[in-house]
Amino acid sequence: MSKTLQTSHLSLNMIDEALVESFLNYLIVECGLSENTIKGYKGDLSNFSNYLQGEGIKRFQDLRAKMIVNFIEKEKQRGLSENSISRSLVTIKMLYKYMIMEGKISVNPMSSVNTLKLQKHLPEVLHYKAVEEILRAPDSNDKLGIRDKAILELMYATGARVSEVASIRVSWINLDYGYIRCQGKGSKQRIVPMGAEASKSIRRYLQEVRPFLVKIEVDEPLLFLSRTGKKLRRENIWELVKKYAVKAGIRSNISPHTLRHSFATHLLEGGADLRSVQEMLGHSNISTTQIYTHVDRKYLKSIHQRFHPRA
């Protein structure tokens, strides 16, 4: 079956619909982009089309470079995040490169966008000693403390998202081999190693605590339960991470995602390759994982300054 995009399916409603449909078909057929990605691009172009029409522009070909600056400012005023604006610019740039390739325009008005730098926030990352302090914070003599220790160890050992941790089933863990199955975005599953410490903490939780938390066992029992035997909500896990960060004396704004960022960064600092980290994080696109290379470069620069004789 031909891998093409149906106009009626996407409900195109913007200037130069034929051009946009041709461009999106190109992204599917030639670039192999997924339907979800295409929908995102279509949304970006629809938003950009609305902006151009508000400026009295009726064709993408009539864009003037200075309009991009105004477009970015308006997007900021609408409260869009810098990542969302940056993604929109990538989509728009791809459209105009396509138009150059197809001979629709001879000069690319988006070429000057290369000089527009949006501020990018690097993820919050903890020093490994700070992570150790958090992992030691739960009370090992308290049942919920034992559970919380297992949750924290698992999060740092696997880089799992908080929603993934809350949804892990007992059958998804293999303590003998030290692996766990995570179900990420789009119900995509992946197998992630979790190491000896996380395995030990989870084993203790399963033996000493979980049997006391269970109220009604089901066919696919969840690994982590609340004190009432119910599924832990994401907010519950967020709260316990904050709680133990405070107990460990860490003042920065810590969240479950901080442990995920720290997991990825510490792997890269230890010499792991980017593709392996991408697989463990469950990123469908390696460009998402590449944010951690910026953090890694900071680490490499500090090593260079410490050890190079002419640094």
Q: Which of 211, 241, 225 shows the shortest CA–CA distance to 169?
A: 225
Element (H, E) at 92: helix 82-101
- How far is the C-alpha of 182 from the C-alpha of 174, rounded, in Å? 12
The Cα–Cα gap between 210 and 226 comes to 10
CB burial class (10 A; 0-12, 13-18, 19+) of residue 212? exposed
How far apart CA 49 and CA 84 sit, in angstroms, is 16
- Nearest to 167, CA basis, from 144, 151, 145, 178: 151
222 forms beta bridges with 169
Q: E strands of 75-231, at which residues? A: 173-174, 179-183, 189-193
The phi, psi pair for 76, rounded to 5°, reads -65, -40
Three-class secondary structure of residue 180 per DSSP:
strand
What tokens does 270 get?
């230890």
Catalytic residues: 161, 185, 257, 260, 283, 292
